[in-house]
Amino acid sequence: MKLSTRTRYGTKAMLDLAIHYAQGPILLKLIAMREGISESYLENLMTGLKTAGLVRTARGPQGGHFLARPPSQIKLSEIVIALEGPIALVDCIDDARLCYRSPSCVTRDVWQDLNKAITAVLERITLEEMAQKQRERAEQGRPEKARAYRAV
């Protein structure tokens, strides 16, 4: 199982917004540059994140994108669902009627347990926790780069 590029890049963009949360709206081109994501692809991702109520925009000279809620209130699960849809390893998890074998399928039980475990991990992690870890790693690895990750 692999997460899509949408989810990986969307999470990186949301983490960038969390790291720079206190700085106000952030231009997409800055996020794109810092995260190595094309600006046009990032625009596409932001549309889904805005629709999900995770990101807002401000227009004008001081405009840009910003988190709709504090990073401590945004769970990783919300980002994944906004970009991928419901978390379901196989289709029959969400709708048992899709397979006539669902009532007696032992493998479906395993997929459901695995799905619950993945969901629990994604529910437990907030953007604030991820931002803090990123700041700590920046401090440990390259102090000259750490300034970009410090809370203002």
Looking at residue 149, its pLDDT comes to: 53
| Domain coverage including residue 30 | 5-147
**In a domain? residue 55:** yes
4-30: buried (b, 16+ CB within 10 Å) or exposed (e) per residue? eebbebbbbbbbbbbbbbeeebbebee
Looking at residue 66, its pLDDT comes to: 96
Model pLDDT for residues 56-84, shown as the tens digit of each residue: 999 888 889 999 999 999 999 999 999 99
Element (H, E) at 64: strand 64-67
Model pLDDT for residues 85-143, shown as the tens digit of each residue: 888 888 877 777 878 887 888 888 888 899 999 999 999 999 999 999 998 888 887 65
**In a domain? residue 122:** yes
CATH number at 56 reads 1.10.10.10
**In a domain? residue 135:** yes
Domain count within the chain = 1
**In a domain? residue 42:** yes
Q: Give 1's pLDDT tier (boundaries 50, 70, 90).
A: low
Model pLDDT for residues 15-37, shown as the tens digit of each residue: 999 999 999 999 999 999 999 99
Residue 72 has what DSSP assignment?
G
**In a domain? residue 46:** yes
- Say yes or no to pLDDT of 151 above 50: no
pTM for the model: 0.85
CA gap 87, 89 in Å, rounded: 7
CA distances (Å), 105 to each of 60, 92, 100, 113, in order?
56, 10, 9, 13
In the numeric block, the tokens 């906004």 are attached to 82
**In a domain? residue 152:** no
